Chains A and B, each alone.
Chain A
Amino acid sequence: MSATTEAATGIRPFQIEIPEERIDELRRRIAAAQWPSGELVGDRSQGVQLEALQALAHYWLGEYDFGRIERRLNALPQFTTEIDGVDVHFIHVRSKHEDALPLIITHGWPGSVIELLGVIDPLTNPADGEDAFHLVLPSLPGYGLSSQPTEIGWDTGRVAKAWAELMRRLGYDHYVAQGGDQGAAVTDDMAREGPEGLIGVHLNLLRSALGSTASLPAESDQERAALEEVTTFKTSGFGYFLEQSTRPQTIGYALLDSPIALAGWILDHDTDSYYKIAAAFVDGKPAGNLTRDNILDNITLYWVTRTGVSAARSYWEGGRAAAQAAGKTPPPVTIPVGFTTFPGEIFRAPRSWAEKVYPTLVYFNEASRGGHFAAWEEPEIFAEELRAAFGSVRNGRSS
């Protein structure tokens, strides 16, 4: 990007610099952790297990290389640009194939751009140049290196509008969008908003099923199993969701003041990813790319950017937006939709559910491996899914 373009669009190059004293302070706090007594059960049913979190703290303090975040991020072209009052941080990697398809991928909670670093190379630089993407990876407002909103109203609908503006500013007049978790909500909102230039989306979480399964079929074995998985999550795994939707500031004090609190809160997302991450620390056996170092890059980024509260607040915004939208039918999605169900996801959405929510579904697949953090855990499989899902869109053969 030339200097003149930068001036015109307000896009500024960015490098992360973490002051040494901030790392020293973090290390001091980890070393001084006061621990609770252990859980009373042999599984995760009371939360993150003491052994797993202590193993994490031990590695964090003793072996983790705190220079990793700077090295990994600063090796990539990063920028910030002010949109709607928030400084949006993003990674922007153009493929060497000029006519690659522009793609914006949105991370989720408790993730960050860190979860997406492994997919950059496979997506921008695939074996077949026809499959290449120009990649835009923004940090959600209030997350990581984007600034924290100081006013209310930054729900996923507003983020979706900001992303459309970001792609416009980057000069992309045709592009696709992808997301899981919170990123799925943003991407769904983009698809419903239908900004000019957005020609397709791919999702790996059927967000609306977590709101209500009332309209979804529950006849086949697969459908009934998915329904049961949703119910299990909403009855026993929903605590963090409700807490952040209602009192983000309350949990936030501990997340800002205690790295152990932050790590514990981040580790306990869903059953599958929890056990995978716990195994990485306790047994040294990571699942795919969910390695100790990668997990700690993400947690450390939350700590040094002091975004525990502001990220949690995005759920509060989601709750507020849902209350305001209650009873209203959201606009239909009219562009092509691709969906991949990963086997370790909170619930394995069957094709019938994806079709019900997205009548314009053009691609559906069940991946062989991977869970809720699919891009992070299995970057190659995730990249293959995106290539396959966007193949028809790319060639202009979508209906």
Chain B
Amino acid sequence: MSTTVETATAIRPFQAEIPQDEVDDLRRRLAATRWPDKETVSDASQGVQLAKLKGLVDYWATDYDWRRAEAKLNELPQFVTEIDGLDIHFIHVRSSHEDAMPLIVTHGWPGSIFELLKVIEPLTEPASAGDAFHVVIPSLPGYGFSGRPDGPGWNPDRIARAWDELMKRLGYDEYVAQGGDWGAVITEAMGRQAPSGLRGIHVNLPASVPPDVEAALNGTGPVPEMTDEEQAAFDGLAAARKSGFFGYFIALTSRPQDVGYGVTDSPAGLAALFFWHPGFATWSFGTDPKDPKSKDDVLDDISLYWLTNTAASSGRLYWEHGGAFPTSATALKVAEITVPVGVTVFGEDGFRPPESWTRRAYPTLTYVNRVDNGGHFAAWEQPQLFSEEVRAAFRSLR
């Protein structure tokens, strides 16, 4: 891919304005949900439980207010620009400190820019001006207010090239990049491509699983000698693969359109799909007072997918990626990364690789840390802690 877009490089301001009849239609559909019978087990082993999903959907249909979510977005400077033939939507918040470090943060699935709103303030206006970032938060192709690709090829590598183009177009000749979930896969692709100006990357879903461990997990190689910590991580991964977590990964990878019909026509079906992801499934939505993630947090995100009709197009990223596990060092070719790499493992994420694996995986590792709090959606769940990690990871690169 060598085309650089020469035309249509204009950066246009953007405001989210979903027509009222679409918001009304969503409410009507939610109220008319035709529910299945209850699962035949007393846990989530057959999927999200009826009572839990019903509770969320009832709130969605009645008290939830999309306009509040829209207002949150519209308080921020948003733009659209065409890159490689596709409209890319992004939030761009400059720090009050002119010489702040430019940073592009990439969301994942089933997240969106809503995952990242809470880190904007701490990243752009930290206590110490020397830690400040200018923050760029794009919507992935096929997600939210970005355009939906109408042909194949928008894989993580292509998105990574588009992100570099975006940063250059914004006038950032030097910048850093961060991501978790798909954002990590794309950020690591940027690290491999190492475009001029990319100073370093930080990920919170590291592709740390070494080749021999991956082979043992896949049953294609013997279980290697491991320390106790490594063994515990290995056992956790083996259990996760048996738990049924990967059914949807495989379904989206092989037939995204099939999953897409249901989640495009049924908002309850869409919410159920998102609960498949263990990153959401563990959230208590206000029933635990110590857990700050509210129903509104997750419904802002799900509503964005619904109201932009991107449930199907977002799932296609799995198809484009072709099924390689985002945790596998071999699959993501992270040994080819030549820029400095920072890694933070959040203690409540399902995937917690030992530091020894991460050190083996990333030859250019400059920062590695493990913190107790925060899960798969660390920026969403623990914005302050996440921001501290990003500052610490990039401090040596300033």
Contacts and interface: CB of A to CB of B under 8 A. Distances in A.
Contacts of B268: 253-254, 257
B266 interface: yes
A245 B39 CA distance: 14
B151 A250 contact: no
B217 interface: no
B316 A242 contact: no
Nearest to A315: B247
Contacts of A102: none
A252 B247 CA distance: 14
A246 B244 contact: yes
Interface in A17-74: 33-41, 46-50, 53
A338 to B, nearest CB: 33
B200 interface: no
A251 B250 CA distance: 13
Contacts of A268: 255, 258
Interface in B251-270: 251-266, 268-270
Contacts of B46: 247-250, 313, 316
Contacts of B25: 34
Given A246-B246, A250-B47, A36 B313 contact: yes
B151 A37 contact: no
Interface string B303-331: 00000010111001001000000000000
Contacts of A149: 40
Interface stretch (A79-87, A259-267, A285-293): A259-267
A37 B315 CA distance: 12
Interface string A271-300: 000000000000000000000000000000
A313 to B, nearest CB: 7
Given A245-B244, A247-B46, A261-B269, A256 B36 contact: yes
Contacts of A325: none
**How large, as a class, is the contact surface on chain B?**
35 or more
Interface stretch (B107-115, B271-279, B332-340, B354-362): B271-279
B19 to A, nearest CB: 14
Contacts of B265: 33-35, 254, 257-258, 260-261
B48 interface: yes
A251 B258 CA distance: 10
A240 B272 contact: no
B257 A253 contact: no
A245 to B, nearest CB: 7
A168 B366 CA distance: 73
A253 B53 contact: yes
A197 interface: no
A27 B25 CA distance: 17
B257 A152 contact: no
Given A247-B247, A249-B48, A261-B269, A254 B257 contact: no
Contact of B37 (A53, A151, A238, A306): A306
B372 interface: no
Q: Which of B252, B263, B266 has the most CB of A within 10 A?
A: B266
Nearest to B245: A246
Nearest to A42: B152
Contacts of A46: 255-257, 316, 319
Interface in B366-387: none
Nearest to A317: B40
A237 B251 CA distance: 9
A35 B264 contact: yes
A49 B257 contact: yes
Q: Which of A236, A240, A250, A268 has the most CB of B within 10 A?
A: A250
Interface string A146-159: 00111110000000
Contacts of B256: 46-47
A36 B260 CA distance: 7
A268 B319 CA distance: 16
Interface string B27-38: 000000111110
Interface residues of A, number: 56
Contacts of B49: 249
Given A247-B247, A247-B276, A47 B260 contact: yes
B199 interface: no
A230 interface: no
A306 B50 CA distance: 15
A13 interface: no
Contacts of B17: none
A253 B272 contact: yes
Contacts of B276: 247, 250
B64 interface: no
Given A36-B311, A37-B150, A53 B261 contact: yes
Given A33-B265, A36-B260, A253-B272, A308 B248 contact: no
Contact of A255 (B40, B151, B250, B262): B262
Contact of A310 (B37, B245, B261): B37
A140 to B, nearest CB: 15
A36 B253 contact: no
A239 interface: yes
Given A246-B247, A251-B47, A256 B34 contact: yes
A309 interface: yes
Interface in A185-221: none
Q: Which of A242, A258, A319 has the most CB of B within 10 A?
A: A258
A258 B265 CA distance: 6
B266 A236 contact: no
B94 interface: no
Given A250-B272, A261-B266, A37 B36 contact: no
Contact of B262 (A40, A150, A254): A254
A41 B273 contact: no
A287 to B, nearest CB: 21
Nearest to A149: B40
B251 A242 contact: yes
Q: Which of B252, B264, B275 has the most CB of A within 10 A?
A: B264
B372 to A, nearest CB: 29
A354 B211 CA distance: 38
B41 interface: yes
Nearest to B149: A40
B257 A50 contact: yes
Q: What 5 A-B pairs are tightest by C-beta distance, nearest first?
A: A254-B269, A254-B262, A261-B262, A246-B244, A47-B257
11 contacts: A37-B312, A40-B150, A40-B151, A242-B246, A246-B245, A248-B46, A250-B272, A253-B272, A258-B261, A261-B265, A262-B262
Interface of B: 25, 33-37, 39-41, 46-50, 53, 148-152, 243-248, 250-266, 268-273, 275-276, 309, 311-313, 316, 319
